Homo-oligomer: A and B are copies of this chain.
Amino acid sequence: MLEREQRILITRITTEHARALRKKFKRAVHHESARCVTIEKQPLRKRPGTIAVVCAGTSDLPVAEEAAVTAEIMGNHVERLSDVGVSGLHRLLGRLELIQSANVVVVVAGMEGALPSVVAGLVSRPVIAVPTSVGYGASFGGLAALLGMLNSCGTGVTVVNIDNGFGAGYAASQMNALVSGAGIT
């Protein structure tokens, strides 16, 4: 497969499989918190502009990292903000400039999934919401966050499947590619 492709992204990989791959392919890089391995013969040249990947805390981090790594291997600059939840608005507002300067914002959130609504009220660029299965009880494996995001009062928010960091990163890259007018590779 590696012969055919210039770069490969393997998601949801266990630490054991990652180690085996790294033994076999010296170019393989293990992104631990993203639970991904990437193998690149030659990295893509980065597009101008950034994609911001925003989440509220450590439990949403693996999905956020999956989105970030996906966007990076597809040739995008990524800004990570991982401590900006709705119950601590000052941290969010303190980093507003960074978020507003991105071409596309990926917002990852579990529990009630409220963060994309708040972010969408603060930026004019596309916001992609990723619900995570973080939570318990009436979160029903991410359903609460998913429904929250689909009903977001923030106009223009689009949503991907629960825990689908890869899909969000891919879509964000498609959108960011519009800036330079180039197709996606």
Using CB atoms and an 8 Å cutoff, list the residues of chain A in contact with chain B.
Answer: 56, 85-89, 93, 103-104, 111-114, 117-118, 120-122, 124-126, 128, 131, 133, 135-164, 166-168, 170-171, 173-176, 178-179, 181, 183-184
Contact = CB atoms under 8 A, between A and B. Distances in A.
A174 B120 CA distance: 12
A153 B85 contact: yes
A160 B163 contact: no
23 contacts: A86-B117, A87-B153, A89-B118, A89-B121, A111-B153, A112-B150, A113-B148, A131-B137, A136-B164, A137-B142, A138-B146, A138-B151, A144-B147, A145-B151, A151-B161, A155-B166, A156-B170, A156-B174, A157-B167, A158-B160, A158-B171, A178-B178, A178-B179
Contact of A164 (B137, B141, B149, B184): B137
Nearest to A93: B89
Nearest to A111: B151
How many copies of the polypeptide does the oligomer hold? 8
Given A114-B148, A148-B113, A56 B86 contact: no
A112 B167 contact: no
Given A118-B86, A120-B87, A153-B86, A138 B144 contact: no
B178 A112 contact: no
Contacts of A113: 112, 114, 148
B124 A117 contact: no
A122 B91 CA distance: 13
